[in-house]
Amino acid sequence: MMTFDPRTIATPVYDALGALRSQPNQDETRLKEQKNQAVELYTYLSTWGMMRLKAEEKALSQEGKKQVVKKYFECLESLSKVENLANDKGLTVLRKLDVDEYLGLTGLGLALAQEFSFWAAAVYWDIKGE
C-alpha cells in the first residue's frame, strides 16, 4: 500500500522558492516579481491552462516572474515524471500528451500552483506591495 505524503508537493516548492529568494544580487523589484508570480500561478493556470502558461514562460519580460514559472515547471516535471516538461521542448510535450494524461497533469499542476501561492507568503514574508 502506498501512502500519500503531503510533503511530496510542499517540499520541492518550498525549496524552489527558497533557492530563488536567496540568489545573490536581487533587488526589491525582482523579489516582488517572484512573490507576485508565485501567488498568481493558480489563477493563471485555472484561467488559461497549462499550454498557455508554458508558452508564457518565453514571453515574460520580467525576469523574476520568468524565474518562478521555470521553477514551477521544474517541480512539475520532477513530481509527474513527464520528461522534457521544464525545457524548451515542454510545449511540444504538452501538445502530444493524450487527453487523460493532460488532464491529470493539469490537476497535479493546479495542486502545485496552490503550494506556490501558499509558500510565497512564507518565503517572501517581508516583501510588501505589488
pTM over 0.85: yes
Give the pLDDT of residue 2: 53
Give the pLDDT of residue 35: 97
Q: What is the DSSP letter of 18?
A: H
Is residue 106 situated within a structural domain? yes
Q: Which CATH number goes with the domain that contains 63?
A: 1.10.520
Is residue 127 situated within a structural domain? no
Residue type, 81: K
Outline where the chain has alpha helix (H).
7-21, 28-48, 50-59, 63-80, 90-96, 99-123
Total domains present in the chain: 1
Give the pLDDT of residue 107: 95
Give the pLDDT of residue 3: 65
Outline where 81-98 has alpha helix (H).
90-96
Give the pLDDT of residue 1: 59
Structural contact between residues 63 and 30, judged by C-beta atoms closer than 8 angstroms: yes
What's the average pLDDT block by block, 10 residues per block, for the chain (130 residues)?
76 96 94 96 96 95 96 96 96 97 96 96 88
- Please tell me whether residue 14 adopts helix, strand or coil conformation: helix
Residue type, 119: W
Domain region containing 51: 7-19+28-121
Is residue 111 situated within a structural domain? yes
Is residue 1 situated within a structural domain? no
Count how many residues are written for the chain.
Answer: 130
Give the pLDDT of residue 6: 78
Give the pLDDT of residue 86: 97
